[in-house]
A = this chain, B = another copy of it.
Amino acid sequence: MNLLLLEDGDFVAPDRVRLQGRRLQHLREVHRAECGDSLRVGRLGGLMGRGVLFSLNAEQAELQISLDTPPPAKLPLTLLLAVPRPKMLKRVLQTVSAMGVARLVLLNSYRVEKSFWQTPFLEPAAIREQLILGLEQARDTVLPEVTLEKRFKPFVEDRLPALADGSLGLTGHPGEYPACPRAVEGPVTLAIGPEGGWIPYEVELLRLAGLQPVQLGERILRVETAVPALLARLF
């Protein structure tokens, strides 16, 4: 936790917060914080700054806060991600949030196991929890927008063309395609497939929606590795 992220419910006055639960525990056990300590804080969806701890015990912590710094810019990226297996989903959500992706669409694909859609980790509260961990890690305050699209074809045919309009549209896919571009300017819409990759029909439908296939070399990477690799190359 490189940033103590504050939510509206934490504020007991415009410049004072009271914390319990996970963040209190983290302050006590990991940071080993003491009264008088000054910590990096940020308000969810708002500014970042410092908080001075003026009261701390086993039940709660209280901080006097001052917020003056905008959070880092988001990547101008809409990421379409085939739903990964639950264990990987949690880590990928943290990565997506930490790296500053603006919008995430969790998408179905032929090779997404149906059971992946049943996981409690896709509940809005569970997704939010992982995104928050990513923001705390990277020092950001703005959650990515996340939507779930359980049906590939209607999403890609009917809504994706408008969503990708005006952006550089790319589908990450191993094969005889151009290399993924580097250091692009402007917004990007990027689709990353499941373990095992998109099927040809999906690559073609994505292409018709404006997303051209690109590759990242002959090595097959796990989704959790491909995501940071593609993002670091693009931006």
The interface of chain A, by Cβ under 8 A from chain B, is 2, 72, 91, 94-95, 98-100, 137-140, 182-183, 216-222, 224-226, 228-233
Copies in the complex: 2
B228 to A232, Cβ gap below 8 A? yes
| Among candidates B139, B218, B220, B226, residue contacting A219 with C-beta atoms closer than 8 Å | B139
Which chain B residues lie closer than 8 Å to A100 at the CB level?
219
Most chain B Cβ neighbours within 10 Å, of A91, A95, A98, A232: A232
Q: A137-B220, A182-B182, A230-B232 are in contact. List 19 more A-B contacts (CB 8 A).
A: A2-B220, A72-B218, A91-B224, A94-B222, A95-B222, A98-B225, A99-B219, A99-B225, A99-B229, A100-B219, A137-B222, A138-B219, A138-B221, A139-B220, A182-B183, A221-B228, A225-B228, A229-B232, A232-B233
A49 CB, nearest partner CB in chain B, Å:
15
**The 3 A-B residue pairs with the shortest CB-CB distance in the complex, in nearest-first order:** A229-B232, A138-B219, A228-B229
Which chain B residues lie closer than 8 Å to A232 at the CB level?
216, 228-230, 232-233
A138 to B222, alpha carbons, bound, how many Å? 8
A77 CB, nearest partner CB in chain B, Å:
14
Closest to A72 in B: B218
